[in-house]
Structure 1
Amino acid sequence: MGILTTDKFPLLVVLNPFSGKKQSREVWETILQPALHRAGKPFKVIESGAQGHAQTYFFDNIKPIITDLVQSISVANKPVSDSASGPSVVLPSSATLEVMVVGGDGTVHEIVNGILHGVKGTEFVSEAFRPTVKFSIIPTGTGNAISTSLGVTSVQDALDRYLAGKEIPMRIMTVSTKASGNHWEPRLYTVVVNSFGLHCATVYDSEEFRHLGNERFRQAAMKNIENLKQYEGKLVFYGPVQSYNRSSHSLAPSNNSSGDDLTASTETLSGPFTYLLITKQASLEPGFTPTPLANTADEWMDVLAVQNVGQAEILQMFGATSNGQHIQQEQVEYFKTKVVELETPTQGRLCVDGEFMTIEPGPDGRVRFEVAKDLNTQIFGVFA
């Protein structure tokens, strides 16, 4: 039996009343809930009470949620057996869980990490059974990077796309550090952006301006630009790499590109870095498109590296991000890759979808970013 859904299983609505300008509950009550009633879509509301709540909820409950989903499908598609024992149940090979996020990218990040850590090492994801999770992301957060990158223009637009039912893959990146035995252990899963340097410092400092909504990032950015720092480190790329050629205005394979061998070092980019992004999304908020060639659904990560520039240069770069023209500037290096590692000579800070982790110094402290290859991880889609 193939991939199935069931009208009897509810859409899970994750409502974050604290995201963005705190309009999620009003949007839910006045627009979304009435529309779902009219469409005959059953739903269950999960309210996120605090930071980390959505991740904990799905970590604790994803196994019973999947079990209930499978049971609802199995009963709805129960063939009659020829045996005297009565009907027999045929289990599906896959099932689709729909999750509507009335919130921002941080809530999506929490749900993805809760689900993947919750099913890790269990029988719930295997060759015999692989669930899929489809997100409808209603943009009521601060940045709304995923929605903006998909061209979603409003709450109504996002709702219409969900009701239309068309979806694309939402590819996941893993952020790993070295564990005992020198193997890579995934620490976090990320759907939007990993950053080091000015962007990370901006997100970190933006909490003090949260009451300003989207404006908080501009205020935090200006604070950090006034005291602009350079961040020592180096990037090591593995496997196939494409780099942006400013003369031809196009991407081209690196001279050292190693085909599909993700274990072979391709090239190294040394800092210091003023601004460094490793991302799956083209835009991080409306009007700010730092990685214009990124694609939510493809198998590449986009890397934007700005090296050792001053205040005037970084402001000029930011001024050109609305239309993607900044990648033409000489101070900007732009790559597409599948695996890249970041090493720093001293302890540093990394921002992963708004969550922060420490980079330990030296080769043993390297952090590895890659588009997840494991089909048990790449189980997500987004209505687009």
Structure 2
Amino acid sequence: MVEVVLNPAAGSGLAESVYTTHLVPLLGADELRVHRTTSAGDGVRIGRTLIHTHTSLHPTTPLDIILVGGDGTTHEILNGILLSSALGSVQVRLAVVPAGTANALFAALYPEHWTQDVQHRVAAAHSTAELDASVVDVMLRSVKSLAASLRSGTQGCVDLPLMHVDLGSQQIVAHLVTSHALHAAILHDADTPAMRARHTGIDRFKAAAALNATRWTQATLTLHPPPSGIQQYSPKTSSFELVQNAELVLEGPFLYLNAMLTDRLESAFIPAPLSSALRLPKDAVDVVVIRPTRDPALTGQPNDGETFAQTRLGPITAGMYAGGTHIDLTYDSTLPMVEYFRCAGYDLHAGGGDKDRLVCTDGFVSDAEHVKVTRWQPQEDALPAPLIWR
């Protein structure tokens, strides 16, 4: 039996159409058991129920779950499963159907297929009947890998890298990004009813970006070294170079601060081009930082935020949409505009300003004064790391 978690509210509402028109014919109704989310956070409950039931009834059998929704659906299911009290050796295997808005995880798994054109078509459609067969075929790639395995016994799974995010009062598992500063503020402002009513698809994120482009976040960031030491990407050598083997403290203000397990957050938006979801070292997190006061052209004036946004942010953003070329931008021949670190994790102590405490994990926005981020690792006697069908 394959469990299906379906989010009817994801994206433009494609999930039900995908299930009825494509998943049932592909796998058979008798082989599928459907669980529909009914509200925000309901995926956590479903994930917790699924893992407890499965470990009790089938302790030696893998748990296959098809997720029909967006990145938020995946986030909730993972948190329900991994933050439960379930113990044992059950291997969780996820197949993803991209029925959300950005579908960043799917974009990272299939960058050559999940193009910007495909993403826009899926985001605008309310039924798979509105989509070309080629687009639907792309959406079903992960599920078809699962289906092929069920028929032939072949294995088509890869490891799904995860972060453990400690907010003090709350523990979170993230599979894409933990962000502060601009990205967290964008997700915070884009989710208001007014923004959703005014803009469709990913346009609301672009509108929220314009509202926060001149705002800087006060914080202290302490990067922790893996065994190989903290490394920083050098535009001069086009490679990572060792910075130091001890902790590295970076003082704000920050315009941009993202911890990434994947290279992209949309099909064409690639803020961390060296952070491939399938090739990142198992003990590493990539942290992408922009600290505007490092710009030699700024003179400490009250309008420095506007000046940086007008002169620097445009080329940086353009680079993020041009395959990640922003990491090679410099103020002079050596000083990078974007600081790109590879580390084991970090501690962040937020300032007291408006939005300084915002934390975004896979699109879910929280509030915390102190945040600790590490790579998620399975604990003794706990569930093994999840896999994803590809």
The separation in 1 between residues aligned to 2:19 and 2:68, in whole angstroms, is: 7
Is the counterpart of residue 341 in structure 1 residue 347 in structure 2?
Answer: yes
Tell me the matched-pair count: 322
Alignment of 1:56-71 (within 5 A): 56-70=45-59
- What's 1:19 paired with? 10
The separation in 2 between residues aligned to 1:325 and 1:115, in whole angstroms, is: 37
The separation in 2 between residues aligned to 1:378 and 1:248, in whole angstroms, is: 38
Cα 1:379–1:373 change in 2 (3 A) is closer
CA contact (8 A) 1:101 1:137 kept: yes
The separation in 1 between residues aligned to 2:189 and 2:254, in whole angstroms, is: 19
Residue number among 133, 156, 159 corresponding to 2:92 in the alignment? 133
- What's 2:377 paired with? 373
Secondary structure in structure 1 of the residue aligned to 2:84 = helix
Is the counterpart of residue 224 in structure 1 residue 224 in structure 2?
Answer: no
Alignment of 1:342-357 (within 5 A): 342-346=348-352, 348-357=357-366
Given residue 169 of structure 1, which amino acid in structure 2 is its aligned partner? D
Name the one with the larger strand percent. Answer: 1
- What's 2:135 paired with? none
Residue number among 9, 27, 45 corresponding to 2:34 in the alignment? 45
CA contact (8 A) 1:131 1:379 kept: no
Alignment of 1:318-329 (within 5 A): 318-322=317-321, 323-329=323-329
The separation in 2 between residues aligned to 1:242 and 1:371, in whole angstroms, is: 16
Cα 1:286–1:41 change in 2 (3 A) is farther
Cα 1:266–1:285 change in 2 (3 A) is same
Given residue 251 of structure 2, which amino acid in structure 1 is its aligned partner? S
Given residue 350 of structure 1, which amino acid in structure 2 is its aligned partner? V
Residue number among 304, 322, 330 corresponding to 2:288 in the alignment? 304
- What's 1:285 paired with? 266
Is the counterpart of residue 143 in structure 1 residue 102 in structure 2?
Answer: yes
Name the one with the larger helix percent. Answer: 2
CA deviations 1:152-206 (Å, max 9, x no partner) are 5331333333334411111221111458xxxxxx611111111111111111111
Given residue 348 of structure 1, which amino acid in structure 2 is its aligned partner? R
- What's 1:118 paired with? 84
Give % identity: 26
The separation in 1 between residues aligned to 2:144 and 2:52, in whole angstroms, is: 30
- What's 1:249 paired with? 238
What RMSD, in angstroms, separates the aligned Cα atoms of the two structures? 2.0
- What's 1:234 paired with? 220
Alignment of 1:24-103 (within 5 A): 24-37=15-28, 42-70=31-59, 92=60, 95-103=61-69
State the 1:290 CA deviation: 0.6
Given residue 27 of structure 1, which amino acid in structure 2 is its aligned partner? V
The separation in 2 between residues aligned to 1:207 and 1:187, in whole angstroms, is: 22
Given residue 377 of structure 2, which amino acid in structure 1 is its aligned partner? K
State the 1:377 CA deviation: 5.8
Cα 1:30–1:146 change in 2 (3 A) is same
CA deviations 1:229-265 (Å, max 9, x no partner) are 01011211112222101111111222x22xxxxxxx4
CA contact (8 A) 1:15 1:46 kept: yes
Larger Rg, first or second structure (1 or 2): 1
Q: Which moved more, 1:191-200 or 1:156-165?
A: 156-165
Query: TM-score of the superposition, structure 2-length normalised?
Result: 0.78
State the 1:378 CA deviation: 4.8
Secondary structure in structure 2 of the residue aligned to 1:143 = coil
Cα 1:203–1:378 change in 2 (3 A) is farther
Q: Which consecutive unaligned segments of at least 5 residues does structure 2 have?
A: 115-137, 150-155, 293-304, 330-335
Secondary structure in structure 2 of the residue aligned to 1:46 = strand
The separation in 1 between residues aligned to 2:30 and 2:157, in whole angstroms, is: 17
Secondary structure in structure 2 of the residue aligned to 1:110 = helix
Cα 1:377–1:336 change in 2 (3 A) is farther
The separation in 1 between residues aligned to 2:384 and 2:257, in whole angstroms, is: 25
Given residue 213 of structure 1, which amino acid in structure 2 is its aligned partner? G
Given residue 156 of structure 1, which amino acid in structure 2 is its aligned partner? L
Secondary structure in structure 1 of the residue aligned to 2:216 = coil
Secondary structure in structure 2 of the residue aligned to 1:200 = helix
Q: Which moved more, 1:187-196 or 1:350-359?
A: 350-359
CA contact (8 A) 2:217 2:351 kept: no
- What's 1:155 paired with? 139
State the 1:51 CA deviation: 0.9
Secondary structure in structure 2 of the residue aligned to 1:320 = helix
Q: Which moved more, 1:275-284 or 1:54-63?
A: 54-63
State the 1:41 CA deviation: 7.5
The separation in 2 between residues aligned to 1:162 and 1:318, in whole angstroms, is: 37
CA deviations 1:128-160 (Å, max 9, x no partner) are x31111110111111111110111533133333
CA contact (8 A) 1:301 1:370 kept: yes
Cα 1:135–1:210 change in 2 (3 A) is farther
Cα 1:97–1:320 change in 2 (3 A) is same
The separation in 1 between residues aligned to 2:272 and 2:55, in whole angstroms, is: 35
Q: Which consecutive unaligned segments of at least 5 residues does structure 1 have?
A: 1-9, 71-91, 180-185, 258-264, 361-365
The separation in 1 between residues aligned to 2:237 and 2:44, in whole angstroms, is: 44
Is the counterpart of residue 270 in structure 1 residue 251 in structure 2?
Answer: yes
CA contact (8 A) 2:163 2:173 kept: yes
Given residue 45 of structure 2, which amino acid in structure 1 is its aligned partner? T
Query: TM-score of the superposition, structure 1-length normalised?
Result: 0.79
